[in-house]
Amino acid sequence: MIGNKVQILKNFPSTNDFLKQQNKSDLVDGEVVCARSQENGRGQRGNTWETEPNKNLTFSFYLEPLDLNVNQQFSLNYFVSVGILECLKQLVDKPENILLKWPNDIYYGDKKIGGILIENNVKESKISHTIIGIGININQEQFNLRTATSLYIETRKEFSVEEVLAKMIHSLDISYNLFVKDFMLLKKEYLNHLLGYQKTRKYFNNLQDCFFDGEIVEVGDHGLVKIRSGELLLEFGLKEISFVFD
């Protein structure tokens, strides 16, 4: 169902905005729009998403999830993350290096290779429709950010962005089916690939301005992460902690 309709644009400021600007009645559930070049990409928390033209994958899709309550909205993130993960695992020699980082990032080792921007529309406490934007670094060789990487940097291979898009759509569709049919299994797969899940690592508490060690024990469908630190069970929302990479 995801990929019922696919449009490839030469150039558009933001594929999320492209879908937002369409008449809802003209959109098909699962419709995908991809831009070869995106000059004004939006990232999480009001950040920008910088991407070299014609080198990377920047696309969005429109979805009308059935009966999803607003307090379960983070669960959409599980299927999107797992779909991306399963696709990227097939493209690299060391699939174990592909990881999910709470809340919205895709990592290769300790570097960010992709990000997700989910924009939900709520009606009477249900998600009526959502626009899911995905950016994956494919053939870009250099980044201003030390913490960013691409498939090319990690594999020394060049990829056809359109072939990766086709594989990504297929993988997202499989994972969306799992979301609908076996949510527990999907969640298990998400947690099994989550950076820091049941493993002690270092974090920075942005609220209290201090480092701490802990292990992630759970992620709630509302999006909060639970971290056990010594005797304490702590719960954090978006922006409240940062992962520390040595």
Applying CB under 6 A, the residues found at the interface with ligand BTN are 14-16, 41-44, 47, 49, 58-60, 104-105, 115-117, 133-135
Tokens of residue 88, six digits: 């990227």
Q: How far is the CB of 92 from ligand BTN (least distance, A)?
A: 19
Q: Which is nearer to ligand BTN, 14 or 81 (CB)?
A: 14
**Minimum CB distance to ligand BTN, residue 61 (Å):** 10
Task: Name the minimum Å distance from CB 51 to ligand BTN.
Answer: 7
Which residues are registered as beta bridge partners of 77?
none
Question: Cβ atoms within 10 A of the Cβ of 64, count?
Answer: 15
**DSSP labels for 67-118?**
T-BGGGTTHHHHHHHHHHHHHHHTTSS-GGGEEEETTTEEEETTEEEEEEEE
* Comparison of 115 and 196: residue with beta carbon closer to ligand BTN: 115
Listed in sequence order, the residues at least 6 apart from 149 whose beta carbon sits closer than 8 Å to its beta carbon are: 108, 109, 111, 112, 113, 137, 143
Q: Which residues pair with 62 in a beta bridge?
A: 131
For ligand BTN, give the closer residue by CB, 121 or 198.
Answer: 121
CB proximity list for 188: less than 8 A, separation 6 or greater:
none
Instruction: Kindly state the smallest distance separating residue 181's Cβ from ligand BTN, in Å.
Output: 27
Buried b / exposed e over 22-61, threshold 16 CB at 10 Å, is: eeeeebeebbbbbbbbbeebbebeeeebbbeeebbbbbbb
Smaller CB separation from ligand BTN, 36 or 126: 36
Task: State the minimum distance, in angstroms, from the CB of residue 34 to ligand BTN.
Answer: 8
Beta strands, E only, 137-170: none
Which is closer to ligand BTN, CB of 104 or CB of 214?
Answer: 104
CB of 138 to ligand BTN, least distance (A): 12
Residue number, nearest CB to ligand BTN: 115
Rounded Cα distance, 149 and 113, in Å: 5
Q: Toward ligand BTN, which CB reaches closer, 105 or 154?
A: 105
